[in-house]
Amino acid sequence: MIVDKDFVIATIDERLYGSFIEHLGRAVYGGIYEPGHPSADERGFRKDVLSLIRKLRVPIIRYPGGNFVSGYDWKDGVGPLELRPSRLELAWRTIEPNRFGMNEFVDWSKAAGTDVMWAINLGTHGVEEARQIVEYANHASGSYWSDLRISHGYKAPHAIKTWCLGNEMDGPWQIGQKTATEYGRVAAESAKVMKLVDPSIELVACGSSGKFMASYPEWEATVLDHTYDHVEFLSLHSYYGNADNDTETFLGRSLEMEDFIRSVTATCDYIKAKKRSKKTMHLSFDEWNVWFHSNDADKKIEPWQVAPPQLEDVYTMEDALVVGCLLIALLKHSDRVRMACLAQLVNVIAPIMTENGGDAWAQTIFYPYMHASVYGRGQALVPLVQSPKYDTKEITDIPYLESIAVYNEEANEVTIFAVNRDLKHSLPLEVDLRSFGGCRVLEHLVLENDDLKSTNTARQPERVAPHSHGNAIVDGSKISASLTKASWNVIRLSLN
């Protein structure tokens, strides 16, 4: 691997390491919010969960959905608790008690040290609701909705700067599903009024729900035809699974993520050319993760419960390797993917799990996500890699080495993220940092386990956890290491 400090992909937008919390399952109730829990503060926020989230340094969190948002009336979740209604929540067929809403989430986000990415309802609601919610959240005072916020105990505006214009509006599962033209029109008109209220906000238009949609990528092109001048981002969503227990193919799914990013980028640039625009459309990969473990269990859940255990994937060492590869894929395309959200953050396909009334712990995927967020700040550098490759029935030319380097000029550090996809053999790695001069190894973190199906639990929360006994050494401007089989590696280097 050759790394040159002048071959820069992009300065990484810290929002690349965002996450997502939806009113789904136990993400909110029993996850981040559980009044009466031994660790809960006076607002009902679980401090044990907050402690884990702070370790992740999550810069932004998308909320309140997800499919949930297309049937959600945000006004149900503000004001006195005793006046808030319980509703049938149709997206996931549960009861939503509305004990937790916008103001609670803003308070919680401040406690977690993160910003808010708010998704508005463009399924059952529309332009007028879009105007009202931005006025409530961001206008200082002197109008009906801003004064209503003040009456709820929040004199200062919330100043939410990032907003999603609906969620997966092409999906037949979505409440208020729309054609590309129907959605493009309402999104454009909503964007206009939202920016009339607050011109400083940034907006994300809905892309396809995934590459599997029959309308992809025509949906993107049509939506952007209507919204290109009004939004800053187009969204991408994709989840990856291993239901067939084919680990080698599973580890190659990040190549599919890269192909997805390239094709959406090309569609954006086509519309840019068509409109003779000078603006470059950026991407928000605001739902991505491994998701498949909980599918059978979710089919057995009885409807109309409050916060049942939905989408509670228990992640393996194997999943952590895939998440590491997906993070590297995002970094490789950080010139266009400026925001991303690991979906989700707590309990629901999440790096953090909790027991109601009990413990909180880090799942296996917590660690590559934490390492990338903490050490992956700065400039992503072009990775010139020579690696042996392998083929599977579905994917060809999968490199055994998946890697990238990040240069943090302020800290005077280079960090190398690397996954060895080889399931049987260690991989000798040599990194040439010729343009950086001398350096020394600060640490070489390794996440590995002989059992790729190993998981963390409340009783064994560190069965899969990183160690700092990696073997990277320096000889001048060259770094050598042996990457153990099926491992995630973080090599941190201090520059002379």
Residues ≥6 apart with Cβ < 8 Å to 192: 230
Residues ≥6 apart with Cβ < 8 Å to 361: 352, 353, 354, 456, 457, 458, 461
Reading the block at residue 111, the tokens are 């406690």
Give the active site residue among 22, 220, 232, 287: 287
State yes or no: is 258 an active-site residue. no
Provide the 3-class DSSP secondary structure of residue 25.
coil
Is the bond leading into 85 cis (omega within 30 degrees of zero)?
Answer: no
Bridge partners (DSSP) of residue 389 are 399
- Please state, as a whole number, how many other Cβ atoms lie within 10 Å of the Cβ of residue 410: 7
Reading the block at residue 328, the tokens are 């590297």
Whole-angstrom Cα distance, residue 415 to residue 376?
A: 7
Length of the chain: 496
Which residue has tokens 């011109």? Answer: 199
State yes or no: is 168 an active-site residue. yes
- Please state, as a whole number, how many other Cβ atoms lie within 10 Å of the Cβ of residue 79: 17
Whole-angstrom Cα distance, residue 200 to residue 366?
A: 33
Give the active site residue among 89, 96, 168, 312: 168
Task: For residue 327, give the nearest of 388, 264, 369 by alpha carbon.
Answer: 369
Q: Cite the active site residues.
A: 168, 287
